[in-house]
């Protein structure tokens, strides 16, 4: 039997009608003879709402209790979806992360999956049932409920696909896959029907919201084919594979409209301690670089607004440190092996100059050129770069 893991995001299960629609999609595939494991997110903005409750009860809620609270969001959608499927006359059963055998380490709010003991899921599939799994959660070795961090349901779906040896992993949201730019910003963005893991990783890392970059990394590592589609506007989709788009130079532009750009100077001898402190809280320090000059380390990196408080907390632990924070944005252009091409960087700089757009920093990854610039320039820059480098 083909085993398919599907994941439905918060917008796909936003209300009762959408949950019923998802139930129908699932049942259709079940009737076709596939073994289905369906991972769900919390309904619409439930997670944000629960977080708001927590922070209005206490400015500093315990991380353990936050996990107890937030896992409830996914539990609601899993039970409702299971009921909806049963209502259509098919057999379904819902499981929490813990019941699904998703074992994590014991770091609350940002746990990592260490192992999946999927025997219970497998038994139920063999019994002919559709299995619904609450995304974004697991259980630690100490039997504590944990969450995987925001957007973690995608990671649940890919990890389950690995553990079950699934034939594919289908991730449904309210957008029908990847576009050459954010269609809400660039109305002429082109739909991309096939993309490789490396490019997709960068696009999601630099702001494309269709799937979480951590899940893309996991899929790349285990070579899990992913299908990205909408459960609301059905039709188009994007297939993610290890090799696609051979020959394309620029494939898409992405945007992080709000980042915190951090530049600092610290004594070189404190460098190891500095990174250890960040490692301890597992925060997201992105594209860091360090250069050493005269016994001092000059460090630059960026982080998202959601992480900026914890980053600032850590920085406070160091005295004798010079820090500058800037609220900026990123526009990135991704494609095949861009970093090897001085020509591509020259093209970007030429465009920026032609349109008199100032930038603070240009960096590269293996697949992307990213430009750090003023927030108010970001959308315009995305549109210009998209038009000049992709549409042309
Ligand atoms: N509900 C969680 C969140 O909003 C997990 C997820 O949707 O992937 O972050
Ligand atoms: Mg969500």
Q: Which of 174, 193, 219 is the last residue of a domain?
A: 174
| Domain residue limits at 264 | 252-391
Same domain (yes/no): 167, 257: no
On whether residue 205 sits in a domain, the answer given is: no
pLDDT for the residue numbered 248: 54
Q: Which of 152, 174, 196 is the last residue of a domain?
A: 174
pLDDT for the residue numbered 338: 72
| Distance from C-alpha of 197 to C-alpha of 217, rounded to nearest angstrom | 8
For the chain, the domain total comes to 2
Same domain (yes/no): 161, 278: no
On whether residue 345 sits in a domain, the answer given is: yes
pLDDT for the residue numbered 249: 67
On whether residue 242 sits in a domain, the answer given is: no
pLDDT for the residue numbered 341: 80
Same domain (yes/no): 258, 169: no
| Distance from C-alpha of 261 to C-alpha of 301, rounded to nearest angstrom | 6
On whether residue 277 sits in a domain, the answer given is: yes
Same domain (yes/no): 259, 122: no
- Identify the residue whose C-alpha is closest to ligand 1 atom 9: 150
Distance 70 CA to ligand 2 centre (A): 10
Ligand approaching nearest to the C-alpha of 214: 1
| Distance from C-alpha of 161 to C-alpha of 219, rounded to nearest angstrom | 9
Same domain (yes/no): 15, 101: yes
CB atoms within 10 A of CB 387: 15
Same domain (yes/no): 306, 157: no
Atom of ligand 1 nearest to the CA of 153: 8
Atom of ligand 1 nearest to the CA of 156: 8
In 3-state terms the chain splits into helix, strand, coil percentages (rounded to 5) of: 40, 30, 30
Write the DSSP assignment of 213-247 as a string of letters.
HHHHHHHHHHT--EEEEESSS-S-EEEEESS--TT
pLDDT for the residue numbered 244: 61
Same domain (yes/no): 264, 166: no
3-class secondary structure, 88: coil
- 135 close to ligand 1 (CB < 6 Angstrom): yes
On whether residue 287 sits in a domain, the answer given is: yes
Same domain (yes/no): 10, 131: yes
Max alpha carbon distance in the chain (Å)?
Answer: 73
CA nearest neighbour of 160 among 228, 93, 219, 72: 219
- Stated pTM of the model: 0.95
- 209 close to ligand 1 (CB < 6 Angstrom): no
Same domain (yes/no): 170, 312: no
On whether residue 274 sits in a domain, the answer given is: yes
- 150 close to ligand 1 (CB < 6 Angstrom): yes
Q: Which of 149, 174, 199 is the last residue of a domain?
A: 174
Rounded to the nearest 10 degrees, how much is the dihedral formed by the CA atoms of 241, 243, 247, 253? 40
Strand partners for 35: 3
Same domain (yes/no): 261, 161: no
Residue 83's H or E segment, with its range, is helix 63-87
Ligand approaching nearest to the C-alpha of 51: 1
pLDDT for the residue numbered 339: 66
CA nearest neighbour of 137 among 151, 125, 152, 147: 147
CATH code for the domain in which residue 139 is found: 3.40.1160.10
- Profile the chain (392 residues) by mean pLDDT over runs of 10 residues: 97 98 98 98 98 97 98 98 98 98 97 98 98 98 98 98 97 96 96 94 96 97 96 94 65 97 97 94 93 97 95 94 97 82 90 98 94 98 96 89
Distance 354 CA to ligand 2 centre (A): 40
pLDDT for the residue numbered 18: 98
CA nearest neighbour of 39 among 108, 115, 112, 121: 121
| Distance from C-alpha of 323 to C-alpha of 25, rounded to nearest angstrom | 52
CATH code for the domain in which residue 336 is found: 3.30.2130.10
Residue 272's H or E segment, with its range, is helix 271-281
- 149 close to ligand 1 (CB < 6 Angstrom): no
166 touches 133 (CB < 8 A)? no
On whether residue 221 sits in a domain, the answer given is: no
- For the chain, report the end-to-end CA distance as a whole number of angstroms: 45
- Beta-carbon contacts of 364 under 8 Å, excluding residues fewer than 6 positions away, are 338, 339, 345, 370
- 71 close to ligand 1 (CB < 6 Angstrom): no
Distance 74 CA to ligand 1 centre (A): 8
- 136 close to ligand 1 (CB < 6 Angstrom): yes
């Amino acid at each position: 039997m083909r085993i398919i893991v599907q994941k439905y995001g918060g917008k796909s299960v936003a209300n009762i009608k959408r949950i019923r629609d998802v139930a129908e999609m699932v049942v259709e595939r079940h009737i076709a003879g596939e073994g289905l494991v369906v991972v769900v997110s919390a309904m619409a903005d439930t997670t944000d709402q629960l977080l708001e409750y927590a922070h209005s009860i206490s400015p500093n809620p315990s991380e353990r209790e936050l996990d107890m609270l937030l896992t409830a969001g996914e539990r609601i959608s899993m039970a409702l979806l299971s009921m909806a499927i049963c209502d259509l006359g098919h057999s379904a059963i819902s499981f929490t992360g813990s019941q699904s055998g998703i074992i994590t380490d014991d770091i609350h709010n940002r746990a990592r999956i260490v192992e999946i003991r999927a025997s219970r899921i497998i038994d139920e599939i063999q019994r002919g049932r559709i299995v619904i799994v609450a995304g974004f959660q697991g259980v630690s070795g100490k039997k504590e409920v944990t969450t995987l961090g925001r957007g973690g349901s995608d990671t649940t779906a890919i990890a389950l696909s690995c553990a079950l040896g699934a034939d594919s992993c289908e991730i449904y949201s309210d957008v029908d896959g990847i576009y050459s730019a954010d269609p809400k910003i660039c109305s002429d963005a082109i739909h991309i029907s096939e993309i490789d893991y490396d490019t997709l990783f960068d696009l999601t890392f630099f702001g494309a919201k269709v799937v979480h970059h951590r899940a893309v990394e996991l899929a790349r590592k285990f070579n899990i084919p992913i299908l990205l589609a909408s459960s609301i506007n059905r039709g188009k989709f994007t297939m993610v594979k290890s090799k696609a788009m051979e020959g394309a130079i620029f494939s898409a532009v992405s945007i992080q409209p709000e980042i915190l750009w951090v530049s600092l100077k610290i004594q070189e001898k404190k460098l190891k301690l500095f990174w250890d402190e960040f490692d301890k809280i597992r925060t997201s320090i992105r594209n860091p670089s360090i250069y050493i000059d005269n016994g001092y380390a000059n460090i630059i990196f960026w982080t998202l607004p959601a992480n900026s408080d914890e980053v600032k907390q850590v920085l406070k632990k160091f005295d004798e440190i010079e820090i500058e924070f800037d609220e900026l944005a990123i526009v990135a252009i991704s494609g095949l092996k861009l970093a090897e091409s001085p020509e591509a960087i020259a093209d970007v700089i030429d465009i920026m100059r032609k349109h008199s757009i100032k930038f603070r920093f240009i960096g590269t990854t293996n697949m992307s050129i990213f430009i750090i610039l003023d927030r108010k320039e970001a959308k315009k820059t995305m549109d210009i770069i998209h038009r000049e480098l992709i549409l042309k």
